[in-house]
């Protein structure tokens, strides 16, 4: 009887111990996110620049939903700085269809100083499903250390900016620089006030129609004249566009263009011949002997002209001696008189006498 009682007590202790273990296991499952021990899982991995506090057991999120845990955090054998840390992840099998080749793993933090986790973006159906031991590409995300460092740099720059602003305002307060003189020098204000008054007078004069600008604004005649000029210009443009007149033909008539093009071609031919030294002008531009002969001829002609201007030689006397001019004039008069008499009585000058021995 005592033996049975002892066995029953031992059985109750065992049952209580088993229940305690069951309750503890259930509590652990609930604390870890409700994932059971017998849930089917598969392994994926990703590579990060730095673990930044990520450890074994950290959560894996898929589009913000807990889908697994970090199994291992190891130093990667790769020499690439972006693949310094290897993260092995155990993810529930039922989410495998949502993790594909275009998914990205990002290291996140719960709050500014909270626990680290891996967040995987959902892939599209156009990419293949990642199989067992597949790699999820990682994306670089700013961590809290980098944010704090950048904030420190920003604060330092703001401090320098505030110091410079204080320096500028100090100079302005003592009247240094243009802005300081504008604020502290009364003469600057006086000059600005006078300039404003003169500007006001100018505007008043313009409104009253005084001066050229005032007349342009107030007088209707100038506006009408301007409209007339604009109308004439429009008529001229219309005439030119219709091909009338010389300018219109120059713009519209293709024959004029062809003639101009032909003329340019001829000029190019002449220029080409001159460049090659062909013809008189070409040889004159290329052959130094022709140039020298031409220059000698011009010099001789200049010498003859100089003698003629001085009255030397027969031609010079013919040009400069009035007696020769008078004789030539009298001789021409006699010739004219002879021709007149000949026409009046030609028999007088055509008598022929025959004599016999």
Whether residue 100 contacts residue 130, with contact meaning beta carbons closer than 8 Å, is answered with: yes
- Determine, yes or no, domain membership for 95: yes
Between 325 and 163, the more confident residue is: 163
Name the residue range of residue 157's domain.
148-173
- Determine, yes or no, domain membership for 93: yes
- Determine, yes or no, domain membership for 96: yes
Per-residue pLDDT reduced to its tens digit, 181-220: 667 767 766 777 778 888 887 777 777 766 666 666 666 6
Average pLDDT over residues 294-309: 75
Question: Looking at residue 167, what is its pLDDT?
Answer: 77
Mean of the per-residue pLDDT values of the chain: 75
Compute the C-alpha angle 304/305/306, nearest 5°.
90
Whether 61 and 155 map to the same domain: the answer is no
Residue 354: strand, helix, or coil = coil
Whether 100 and 158 map to the same domain: the answer is no
DSSP H or E run through 111: none
Whether 61 and 123 map to the same domain: the answer is yes
- Determine, yes or no, domain membership for 111: yes
Residue 85: strand, helix, or coil = strand
Question: Cα separation of 140 and 107, whole Å?
Answer: 8
Whether 127 and 59 map to the same domain: the answer is yes
Whether 130 and 73 map to the same domain: the answer is yes
Whether 95 and 162 map to the same domain: the answer is no
- Determine, yes or no, domain membership for 67: yes
Whether 110 and 156 map to the same domain: the answer is no
Q: What's the half-sphere exposure (Cβ side, CA atoms, 13 Å) at 115?
A: 12
Whether pLDDT at 3 is above 60:
no
Whether 48 and 95 map to the same domain: the answer is yes
Considering its fold, how many domains does the chain have in total?
Answer: 2
Domain C-terminal end among 126, 141, 156? 141
Chain position carrying tokens 């263009």: 257
- Determine, yes or no, domain membership for 276: no
Whether 44 and 131 map to the same domain: the answer is yes
Whether 135 and 44 map to the same domain: the answer is yes
Q: What's the half-sphere exposure (Cβ side, CA atoms, 13 Å) at 141?
A: 18
- Determine, yes or no, domain membership for 323: no
Whether residue 292 contacts residue 298, with contact meaning beta carbons closer than 8 Å, is answered with: no
Query: Is the entire prediction scored with pTM above 0.85?
Result: no
Question: Cα separation of 30 and 307, whole Å?
Answer: 135
Whether pLDDT at 11 is above 90:
no
Chain position carrying tokens 């002609």: 301
- Determine, yes or no, domain membership for 105: yes
CA-to-CA dists, residue 115 to 57, 128, 167, 209, angstroms? 11, 31, 45, 80
Whether 126 and 87 map to the same domain: the answer is yes
Whether 93 and 167 map to the same domain: the answer is no
Report CA torsion sign: 175, 181, 187, 192: negative
């Amino acid at each position: 009887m005592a033996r049975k009682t002892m066995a029953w007590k031992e059985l109750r202790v065992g049952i209580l111990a088993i229940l305690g273990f069951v309750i503890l296991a259930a509590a652990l499952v609930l604390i870890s996110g409700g994932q059971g021990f017998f849930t089917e899982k598969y392994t994926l991995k990703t590579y990060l620049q730095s673990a930044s506090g990520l450890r074994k057991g950290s959560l894996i999120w898929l589009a913000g939903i807990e889908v697994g845990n970090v199994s291992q955090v190891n130093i990667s054998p790769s020499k690439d700085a972006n693949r310094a840390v290897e993260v092995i992840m155990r993810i529930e099998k039922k989410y495998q269809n949502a993790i594909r080749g275009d998914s990205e793993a990002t290291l996140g933090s719960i709050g500014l100083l909270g626990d680290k986790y891996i967040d995987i973006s959902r892939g599209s159906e156009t990419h293949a499903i990642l199989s067992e031991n597949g790699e999820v590409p990682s994306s670089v995300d700013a961590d809290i250390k980098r944010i704090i460092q950048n904030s420190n740099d920003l604060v330092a720059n703001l401090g320098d900016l505030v110091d410079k602003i204080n320096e500028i305002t100090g100079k302005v307060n003592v009247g240094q620089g243009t802005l300081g003189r504008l604020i502290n020098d009364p003469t600057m204000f006086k000059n600005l006030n006078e300039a404003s008054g003169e500007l006001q007078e100018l505007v008043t004069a313009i409104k009253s129609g005084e001066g050229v600008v005032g007349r342009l604004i107030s007088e209707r005649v100038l506006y009408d004249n301007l409209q007339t000029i604009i109308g004439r210009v429009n008529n001229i443009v219309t005439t030119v566009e219709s091909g009338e007149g010389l300018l219109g033909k120059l713009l519209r008539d293709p024959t004029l263009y062809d003639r101009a093009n032909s003329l340019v071609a001829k000029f190019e031919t002449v220029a080409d011949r001159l460049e090659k030294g062909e013809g008189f002008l070409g040889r004159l531009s290329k052959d130094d002997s022709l140039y020298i002969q031409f220059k000698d001829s011009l010099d001789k002609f200049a010498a003859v002209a100089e003698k003629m201007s001085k009255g030397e030689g027969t031609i010079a006397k013919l040009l400069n001696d009035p007696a020769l001019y008078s004789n030539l004039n009298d001789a021409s008069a006699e010739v004219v008189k002879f021709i007149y008499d000949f026409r009046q009585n030609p028999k007088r000058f055509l008598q022929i006498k025959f004599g016999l021995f």
